Structure 1
Amino acid sequence: MEQEILRIVSESDLDTAIDVIRAFTVYFHLVNTAEQYHRIRRRRAHELDPQSTPQRGSLEALVEFFKRNQIDGETLQKLFNQMSIDLVFTAHPTEATRRSLITKSRRITELLNKSDHADLMTQREREQWQRDLDTVIDLLWRTDAVRQVRPQPLDEIKMGIYYLDEIIYYALPDLYAEFEELLHKEYPDLVVPPFLRVGSWIGGDQDGNPFIHADTLLTALNQQRNYILIHYRRTLFELARECSQSIDHSTVTPELQASLDRDMAAMPEYTEELGPQTALEPYRAKFSLMWKRLGENRAMPPIPQQLSWSSSPLADQQEETGQGIAYKDAEELLADLRLVQDSLLADGETTIAQGPLQTLIRQVESFGFYFAALDVRQHSERHSSAVSELLQVTGLRKDDYKTLPEQERVQILENLLQDPRILTRPGLKLSPETSQILTNFQTIRQVRETFGKRAVNCYITSMSHSLSDLLEVQFFCKEMGIYDLPIVPLFETIDDLRRCTDILETAFTHPLYQEYLKNCGYEQQVMLGYSDSSKDGGILTSSWELYQAQSRLATLSQRHGITITIFHGRGGAIGRGGGPIYQAILAQPPVSVNGRLRITEQGEMLSFKYGIHDIAIRNMELVIAGAVQSSIPIEHIVESQVHPKPKTDWVATMTRLSNSAHSRYRKLIYEDPAFLTFFEQATPIKEIGWLNIGSRPARRTVGRAIEELRAIPWIFSWMQTRYVLPSWYGVGGALEEYLQEDPDRLAQLQQMYKQWPFLQTFLDNLQMTLSKADMSIAHVYAHFLVEDRGLSERIAREIQSEYERTCRAVTAIVGGRNLLDNSPTLQESIRRRNPYVDPLSYFQIILLKRLRALGGPLTLDAEAQKQASAEENERARLTYAVLLTINGIAAGVRNTG
């Protein structure tokens, strides 16, 4: 069969190949949309069935959990008050699907929803429904799946705003309303504060991306402000139109009347424009005046672009223009909204007060004047270089700060932090790189003053290795007059995960950093990198070191009385920390969540999780359910299987397995000198760089080594070849070795799987990723594309053997005859999908071979095509065809990276 498919593919002319590839790609977009909608249909059927039990991970199931464990309202209120959950959208280049296709998929979902009520349609409506569906599918076919132009940061910002504007703005308050309704049936006095928010890296993540800087941060926040204010004003307009209560037939509180009088006095011309009738309708008048005030906020000029660290144009601008009647911040708007709500409730009007007005209050609480709070991220080496240059330019030191021992660097930073003078005075001749660092911090100060402190939520330092990495950021904050911006170290390598608590221990006991923590309310965020740690040490070692690091961080938090929020840098694929989020949260070490959680939502997972209103609600409720359930103190829980603490021998076993898997993984990936050649030839890693899927370069530097390659394209390329290698390699050999020494150990591992959520989640994810792999297809890549036949056969054989070992060991532990026997729905979904991905894989192999034979990828614009030779045009067409296969396979396997 394989030879027959290869023959057909090889004999296909390029035009036919492109049409076939596009057909399969469109098919997968339709299938993915249908699968997503089926999740909505399934949930609806579940809720309609009076005999059904609540869905696992649902808010309904969470309330049932409270009831079963007899958790009292006081305990829950205390927990809710301390909770803080952030879902942080990122612009990492894993989203291979264009926005044009995403919006069409959303339209198909709407039509599928209509079809569920076909019995209520007339014949004419059914015919129109069919025409609408045909039109969308036709447009889907005629839309190019490949971006012809690489997205710029502004495109990524607009894409992030799309999810905020079209989905999250409406879904988040609906989620809160559902949670409150369920809770109040059992706990009528509980108040649910706005503990779930959406954040963003889009426009602020500067690590390794030369196209992201202070201007993009400003662009993102300015655009987000415009969108959110439009939403608020639209709602206020609708409320003003709706609330026609006459003063003769309703009452207002004295507080609301006083506020109304103040507004009318401040806006006499607009009050006159409203007319005398509005004065007799106080609620309409108040909403109208609020609408007018927000209009002044929207009319305020954006924060100026191209700020310089040596000047402060924003401060000058504010001094000139002032606030006028505009709201000074979102809290002032909230105060007005609550004033109206209290008055309506006092007057007995609950429909509006607890309906559209409560929804608006939730939205303002959640989105402020910034829509999504931005994080800023930069590499630690950039800070060290900037400090070094400043010391030399100002004459404080002649040597290179970066080469000094850690103790000496800390001493220098202590002196700088205690020096009342400002080192970064205007007029210094600095490199563009150092000027950019200073401009960033000045911009952060200015936008926090304008939009509120939460507008820039934190500053993340990638590749944090020591205390000096934190103190350097503190120094730049001090120079720009910032004293309460959370400084977040990001620990990414296996070694850094092992050392993270030691580094934070030195920070927590350092007097200057202690003083800074005091300004931050004794709260510390710590980001853990799933992607890079997995790429560095393999999936088993990464998972285990992340687990242990979180456990040690929880202990450190208790010892120092400092609240630690763990920020999980998860990706979409299993090799980057992906997988079902509810199970992942429950699998964290006991007391490590403690009501506080930050999670990145990356790449293709945005369209998968947040492209449809009901799906967005489902994903957000899974996060809430997992975080709340994990955070309830153990003394309040009756069910013994909740928050299980791993036994001592379980920890020893995992450490043994981790060490063995780490050694096997590193031996192949980093210690085999020929592996890099195999990787570059057997996978489309070089061609992926030509796919316009993100503004960020694939590598941190110009180097060729695997260490310099970002984790995202690393995973992406292995998913394309169906090896899916980073998500499982090294595990099978470690398990087999452990079991061969003592066959009785199988019973121990089976017990660990059944009783320990960490291992259960790890092995279930492993089953899924092993099922998505296809060694027969993968070896065709190696056979056709790796030039050295001996190298191809040797490494392919090693990978095949490890794959078989992993499948055998995992199946033995989990039980069943085949992978995913304990998850038949997922098993069937993958079984049905894989054969349809196969033709795309064969096309990719043959086309890659042809393209490389001609010299590799080439893209030509319309004008260049006229001047190009026949061979150049052939290369350009082949490049396009290969990029089509990359898109198609990404749509087929779902987890691209």
Structure 2
Amino acid sequence: MIAFFQEKGITPDQLQHLLDEMSIELVFTAHPTEATRRSLITKSNRIAGLLESRDNDLLKTPRQRAQWQRSLESTIDLLWRTDAIRRVRQQPIDEIKMGIYYLDEVLYKALPDLYAEFEELLAEHYPTLHVPPFLRLGSWIGGDQDGNPFVGADTMHTALRLQREHIINHYRDTIELLAQEYSQSLTHAHITPELQAAIERDAHLLPEYDRELGPQTTLEPYRRKLSFMWKRLGATLTPPTSTEPYTQTFAPLSRHEEPSSSIAFQNAQELLADLILVRDSLLAGGETELAHGLLTRLIRQVEVFGFYFVSLDVRQHSERHAQALAELLSTTGLCKDYRALDEEQRLNILNNLLGDPRVLTRPGLQLSPETWHILHTFQAIRQARDEYGKKAVSCYIISMTSSLSDLLEVQFFCKEFGLNDLPIVPLFETIADLHNCTNVLGHAFTHPAYSAYLEQCQRQQQVMLGYSDSSKDGGILTSGWELYEAQLRLAALGKEHQVGITLFHGRGGAIGRGGGPIYEAILGQPAGTVNGHIRITEQGEMLSFKYGLHDIAIRNMELVVTGVARSSIPGEYDNEVPQEWRDIMRDLSASAHERYRSLIYGDSSFISFFEQATPISEIGWLNIGSRPARRTKNRAIEDLRAIPWVFSWMQSRYVLPSWYGVGSALEAYIDEHPERLEQLQRMYQRWPFLRAFLDNLQMTLSKADMHIAQRYASLVEDQALRQRISKQIQEEYDRTRALVVRIVGGQDLLDTSRVLQESIRRRNPYVDPLSYFQVTLLQRLRALGGPLMLDKDEEAEASAEQQERARLTYAVLLTVNGIAAGVRNTG
């Protein structure tokens, strides 16, 4: 990346401005697509570490090599003996601990190492630059309530409390190491007056501990100061009042909670200030190496992780807010049936509520548990921001946003709890909502109440774009293009109203949910929409692949930073896309949308084919997530979440959501005028958006296997249905594959990416047998009545048929795990 800056003639001032403006956040989610248990992930990582030590020739003696061999064999033995299937469904606390695992084991060190590497490279060519903490981490784990009844106010505080405990213990461990190392005596070293004054203040604050340290440390000022910091961090660990359980006896919170201890650090900035005092004193005394070692890394860690490790987003469905407000208005006699009102009538009521200084959510109201759930959530957010800092809960996301009232309803709840600067983030997910997003926000930016709210948020507006549901709703091509166009319109809207727009990309792990190589995806964003600011979800299934190992985590983050930096340099990726190309994509999108919808939603019998030709019914027994697979109990595809939708098609090797409809659109376009093929080839070579899209399409078409998919189709009982839809899918696959190869060049898929091509070819022989096993097992299991899991007590009393069903269920789930691990990008 540094070479790129030099090649483009970027001056130090220009680069410093870019670094100061950049804001990148990778947001972890707990979506239920990580089929591999944490026990297996940790053991696999242990094996990777052992192999790395051998590759690096760290085993010098016969005794070391023998010990290495024993460690490897024992870890592999444990892998074989560890159950690959979860017997109990995961709870939110399990997901929270899984997220913290990656933070503890990898990212706590990897993220500051990335900064250090970047600073070292910059120092060679741009020695005067300062690197601010532009890359941070976020999380939905513990805060994502959309469709998950098990996540609420308590869950959010549990996540924040555990994260706080872990990060502060990390700081204490590092400070303890520094205290042991920094033994400089005043006889041979000097400290700054500022550090001396800070030590004296600490001694006054902690007189008993000062006496406990003993007279020796008075001659060792650095050790003494670090010891005080270690002690104060211990007091900071005292559990806050917000860990007490919430009840339906609602009472508004006070505006400020007293700290648990007077010696505790009140916030991370106080700790950071102390660390900088120590560093500046070392530099003033000429101890440069000590100042730039472990201490510098700790300073960066405190800058990035604060006292909360990662900031938490809270998300809820827009309908839940409307329901809660309707009940509040009905109970207080202000409106009999808010839900029955049209948009204009709702806005009139919301305008009055937002302009009324009185609090509507008073104690003693008789409300349903669902409404209390919403109220306690906002209560908990206020409390968390008071106790952990405002950055601890970074925003509130509204799923399925479709109107201005969706935003104002959340603003009303924020007003009720004194949350006057909590960013409200609309999430636009369906094709229709992507079309309408600028209308909704245009009205919001000119609405007096929301415009005033924006002022409290420094006129910054996050907008989340849903890749998963838009793809499930309209197909992969239409989703990609509508997202592209929506970003352009949003960027223009922000300029018009002088509102800073940060786009939050809700990318999934699979291509059918917006996944794929992150670097190419960022470069493929429309010109003028990144501008150094971006948020991106990192899905649960991809965490072990992207962040399971230190070096891989750094590599992944490097790709994100490089992509954002290159996309944000003026003149690099802001060339105007010809209108003709956009018209072509608009036509292709409409054609692909029609083809996709006609099969998925227009054919009433398709749902039966889907349920029988994929393991959608069985994967729910995997216990891989705390959230239900469907939003409601209906069978309709509309109510099925995008994650299990993609997961099941990947299992059956159709990979249908990632390519269906594209071939028909391309064929119809080219058949009208054959010379259009050359035009599409030029567009692929010159347009990063289309290149990223078609390269992802190559990958998913390569992972699909229609021969194996036909074996899954044999599970469909209705022969006429099976033959009709199988033929339709097969023809569309052949059509798409042939046309993609013609556009991108080469003789076969991925000829333009030989490494990936070879990787998939080598992987398939190990995955394919599992698919054949799965089809046979599914056939036998369904013939006996479907999945059944038994615990040890139930097994003893079960009939022979029940025991056989349980064994077959276990075997099916093993194949699901194996295919998921082998195919990757599963959901």
Q: Same fold (TM over 0.5)?
A: yes
- The aligned residue for residue 227 of structure 2 is 288
Paired residues for 1:168-317 under 5 Å = 168-301=107-240, 303-308=242-247, 311=250
| Contact 2:144-2:315 at 8 Å conserved across structures | yes
AA aligned to 2:282 is L
How much has 1:111 moved relative to structure 2?
A: 1.2
- Asked if 1:380 is matched to 2:294, the reply is no
Q: Deviations over 1:562-598 (max 9, x none)?
A: 1111111011110011100001000000110111111
| Contact 2:251-2:362 at 8 Å conserved across structures | no
Paired residues for 1:839-858 under 5 Å = 839-858=769-788
- The aligned residue for residue 41 of structure 1 is none
TM-score, with length taken from structure 1: 0.91
Q: Distance in 1 between matches of 2:267 and 2:137?
A: 19
How much has 1:729 moved relative to structure 2?
A: 0.2
| Contact 1:531-1:577 at 8 Å conserved across structures | yes
- Asked if 1:146 is matched to 2:85, the reply is yes
Paired residues for 1:556-567 under 5 Å = 556-567=493-504
Residue among 261, 278, 294 paired with 1:340: 278
| Contact 1:304-1:313 at 8 Å conserved across structures | no
Q: Distance in 2 between matches of 1:277 and 1:836?
A: 64
- The aligned residue for residue 467 of structure 1 is 404
How much has 1:793 moved relative to structure 2?
A: 0.7
Residue among 508, 518, 523 paired with 2:445: 508
AA aligned to 2:266 is K
How much has 1:410 moved relative to structure 2?
A: 1.0
AA aligned to 1:662 is H
How much has 1:644 moved relative to structure 2?
A: 3.4
Q: Distance in 2 between matches of 1:286 and 1:611?
A: 36
| Contact 1:309-1:438 at 8 Å conserved across structures | no
| Contact 2:652-2:771 at 8 Å conserved across structures | yes
**Count of aligned pairs between the two proteins:** 827
Moved more, 553-562 or 818-827: 553-562
- The aligned residue for residue 527 of structure 2 is 590
TM-aligned CA distance change 1:196 to 1:415, over 3 Å:
same
AA aligned to 1:241 is Q
AA aligned to 1:365 is E
- Asked if 1:797 is matched to 2:744, the reply is no
| Contact 2:461-2:499 at 8 Å conserved across structures | yes
Q: Distance in 2 between matches of 1:191 and 1:118?
A: 37
- The aligned residue for residue 662 of structure 1 is 593
- The aligned residue for residue 131 of structure 1 is 70
Residue among 487, 491, 510 paired with 1:573: 510
Q: Deviations over 1:722-743 (max 9, x none)?
A: 0000000000010011001001
Paired residues for 1:433-452 under 5 Å = 433-452=370-389
AA aligned to 2:359 is I
AA aligned to 1:368 is G
How much has 1:322 moved relative to structure 2?
A: 4.6
Moved more, 321-330 or 648-657: 321-330
Q: Deviations over 1:122-170 (max 9, x none)?
A: 3332233222222222211111111111111111110000001111100
| Contact 2:654-2:709 at 8 Å conserved across structures | yes
Structure 1: give runs of 5+ residues left out of the alignment: 1-61
- The aligned residue for residue 371 of structure 1 is 309
AA aligned to 1:114 is S
Higher normalized contact order (CA 8 Å, seq sep 6+, divided by chain length): 1
How much has 1:835 moved relative to structure 2?
A: 2.2
How much has 1:240 moved relative to structure 2?
A: 1.0
How much has 1:310 moved relative to structure 2?
A: 5.1
Kindly report the root-mean-square deviation, in angstroms, between the aligned alpha carbons of the 2 structures: 1.3
TM-aligned CA distance change 1:287 to 1:312, over 3 Å:
farther
Paired residues for 1:625-664 under 5 Å = 625-634=562-571, 637=572, 642-664=573-595
TM-aligned CA distance change 1:310 to 1:343, over 3 Å:
farther
Q: Distance in 1 between matches of 2:472 and 2:253?
A: 43
| Contact 1:588-1:758 at 8 Å conserved across structures | yes
- The aligned residue for residue 167 of structure 1 is 106
How much has 1:116 moved relative to structure 2?
A: 1.1
| Contact 2:629-2:641 at 8 Å conserved across structures | yes
User: For 2:290, what is the secondary structure of its paired residue?
Assistant: coil
- Asked if 1:739 is matched to 2:684, the reply is no
User: For 1:689, what is the secondary structure of its paired residue?
Assistant: helix
How much has 1:435 moved relative to structure 2?
A: 0.8
Residue among 338, 343, 362 paired with 1:425: 362
Q: Distance in 2 between matches of 1:838 and 1:250?
A: 67
AA aligned to 2:765 is P
- The aligned residue for residue 681 of structure 1 is 612
Q: Deviations over 1:870-892 (max 9, x none)?
A: 11111111111111110011111
Aligned identity (percent) is 67
How much has 1:501 moved relative to structure 2?
A: 1.0
Q: Distance in 1 between matches of 2:764 and 2:92?
A: 34
Q: Distance in 1 between matches of 2:806 and 2:214?
A: 66
AA aligned to 1:181 is E
Q: Deviations over 1:749-771 (max 9, x none)?
A: 00000000000000000000000
User: For 1:488, what is the secondary structure of its paired residue?
Assistant: strand
Residue among 604, 619, 640 paired with 2:541: 604
| Contact 1:463-1:491 at 8 Å conserved across structures | yes
How much has 1:120 moved relative to structure 2?
A: 5.3
| Contact 1:235-1:360 at 8 Å conserved across structures | yes
How much has 1:255 moved relative to structure 2?
A: 1.4
How much has 1:317 moved relative to structure 2?
A: 10
| Contact 2:407-2:424 at 8 Å conserved across structures | yes
How much has 1:867 moved relative to structure 2?
A: 1.0
Q: Distance in 2 between matches of 1:312 and 1:292?
A: 35
- Asked if 1:816 is matched to 2:746, the reply is yes
User: For 1:599, what is the secondary structure of its paired residue?
Assistant: strand
- The aligned residue for residue 341 of structure 2 is 404
Q: Deviations over 1:590-637 (max 9, x none)?
A: 110111111111122000000001100000111111111111122xx5
- Asked if 1:97 is matched to 2:36, the reply is yes
Q: Distance in 2 between matches of 1:313 and 1:612?
A: 44
Q: Distance in 2 between matches of 1:836 and 1:164?
A: 31
How much has 1:343 moved relative to structure 2?
A: 1.3
How much has 1:200 moved relative to structure 2?
A: 0.6
Residue among 643, 660, 670 paired with 1:729: 660
| Contact 2:423-2:462 at 8 Å conserved across structures | yes
| Contact 1:680-1:686 at 8 Å conserved across structures | yes
TM-aligned CA distance change 1:242 to 1:75, over 3 Å:
same
How much has 1:403 moved relative to structure 2?
A: 1.7
| Contact 1:501-1:552 at 8 Å conserved across structures | yes
Paired residues for 1:747-826 under 5 Å = 747-783=678-714, 785-826=715-756
Q: Deviations over 1:476-507 (max 9, x none)?
A: 00000110000000000001011111111111
Q: Distance in 2 between matches of 1:317 and 1:521?
A: 23
Q: Distance in 2 between matches of 1:169 and 1:304?
A: 25
TM-aligned CA distance change 1:633 to 1:817, over 3 Å:
same
Moved more, 551-560 or 293-302: 293-302
How much has 1:241 moved relative to structure 2?
A: 1.1
How much has 1:553 moved relative to structure 2?
A: 1.1
AA aligned to 2:825 is N
How much has 1:323 moved relative to structure 2?
A: 3.4
| Contact 2:53-2:59 at 8 Å conserved across structures | no
Q: Distance in 2 between matches of 1:195 and 1:805?
A: 45
Q: Distance in 2 between matches of 1:444 and 1:455?
A: 9
- The aligned residue for residue 881 of structure 1 is 811
Q: Distance in 1 between matches of 2:61 and 2:228?
A: 45
Q: Distance in 2 between matches of 1:679 and 1:182?
A: 52
User: For 1:459, what is the secondary structure of its paired residue?
Assistant: strand
TM-score, with length taken from structure 2: 0.99
How much has 1:836 moved relative to structure 2?
A: 1.9
- The aligned residue for residue 390 of structure 1 is 328
Q: Distance in 2 between matches of 1:615 and 1:488?
A: 31
Q: Distance in 1 between matches of 2:497 and 2:662?
A: 36
